Chain A
Amino acid sequence: NAGVTQTPKFQVLKTGQSMTLQCAQDMNHEYMSWYRQDPGMGLRLIHYSVGAGITDQGEVPNGYNVSRSTTEDFPLRLLSAAPSQTSVYFCASRPRRAAFQETQYFGPGTRLLVL
């Protein structure tokens, strides 16, 4: 299994540009999520999904859109990039059955710089 994969690894955008950060997992996990990590802030939840066709907002959703058309993929869209969105973005997944399997598996991250 490849686990959780993210592309691209690094991206530079100009203010106002749009882009999509890709996330895919091959573990058949129902739950997927996106976080951003800023220096000294830890990880903050942007959006999450508990299954195909179901998404919800996290702590910092403004400026980001998500969709979940398949179990495997959970792309994050920046519609109009702003310098405040410069950050490292992590995707994570886990099985939905939460009773004894709450471990999240993280991707390697995407570093985004917005000029």
Chain B
Amino acid sequence: SQQGEEDPQALSIQEGENATMNCSYKTSINNLQWYRQNSGRGLVHLILIRSNEREKHSGRLRVTLDTSKKSSSLLITASRAADTASYFCATDAGTYKYIFGTGTRLKVLA
């Protein structure tokens, strides 16, 4: 399988805490994207980081990319109950074939 891997598979934290999830991939990429999926719904794009970028911020989201280790992390600061969802990374090698990770299920307890 070409799928990337994310860890942890599941994460449970208290509201207000930070949540960090990691993504590893196997091939060279043009960019890496993070998506959120609420239960039973489609995926929503969160943030994109290009291969020549090392860190990117968007609101409470911070993404890092280490192409030498073929890994990325997503940090959600000051988490809220509404952040409860599954989070997926997806890599784009410029071939139109996006490769998704297996996802991290985040539960934020109020």
Which residues of A approach B to under 8 Å, CB–CB? 4, 31, 33, 35, 40-45, 48, 50, 56, 58-59, 90, 92, 98, 102-109
Contacts and interface: CB of A to CB of B under 8 A. Distances in A.
A103 B42 contact: no
B42 A107 contact: yes
Contacts of A104: 33, 43, 45, 90, 98
A106 B44 contact: yes
B12 to A, nearest CB: 18
Contacts of B3: 41-42, 44
Dominant SS at the A interface?
Answer: strand
Given A102-B31, A103-B33, A103-B48, A43 B42 contact: no
Contact of A48 (B42, B48, B97): B97
A48 B95 CA distance: 11
Interface of B: 1-4, 30-31, 33, 35, 40-45, 48, 88, 90, 92, 94, 96-103
Contacts of A42: 3-4, 88, 100-103
Contacts of A58: 97
A107 B102 CA distance: 19
A40 B101 CA distance: 10
B99 to A, nearest CB: 8
23 contacts: A4-B42, A33-B96, A41-B3, A42-B100, A42-B103, A44-B100, A45-B98, A48-B96, A50-B96, A59-B2, A90-B42, A90-B43, A98-B30, A102-B31, A102-B33, A103-B48, A104-B33, A104-B43, A104-B98, A106-B43, A108-B41, A108-B42, A109-B41
